[in-house]
Amino acid sequence: MGGMASCSNYAKSSYTNSATEQQQTQWHKPNFGWFKCNVDAGFHNVEGKTSLGLCVRDHDGRFVVAGTSWMYGNCCIIEGEAMALINAMREVERIGLSNVIFETDSISMVDAIHHRLNDISEFSSLIVMIKNVL
């Protein structure tokens, strides 16, 4: 990805498991010259789909771009959140944005990005992909 990028979370309190880790606080504008891309995943087990979403705003909080997509098949929450981030990173790169802060409500994913994982799970593979782009 051209330019700088980072990944942060806006979940402020502790959690006990991945189903309860997602907690929201107020959105804050990025610094001048930066963009903020909020990402999330939705899970539709009956339909057998996972939805991925992104919304980019500039330093004044103005809308820049948003998008959604579907993945067929059920995945666990943490893998869906990672796929939403990968999808958003690809879209931001495709439209040529730089200086982007990626924000998610998944504490586990942010922790995994900022720390070393020592397993060979599908999630670990997704985190390696994310780190390679950041």
3-class secondary-structure state, position 51: strand
pLDDT of residue 117: 62
Euclidean distance between CA atoms 15 and 21, whole angstroms? 5
Residue 94 reports pLDDT greater than 90? yes
Euclidean distance between CA atoms 65 and 83, whole angstroms? 18
pLDDT in tens, 26-59: 889 999 999 999 999 999 999 999 999 999 999 9
pLDDT interval class at 101 (50, 70, 90): very high
Q: Average pLDDT, stretch 87-92? A: 94
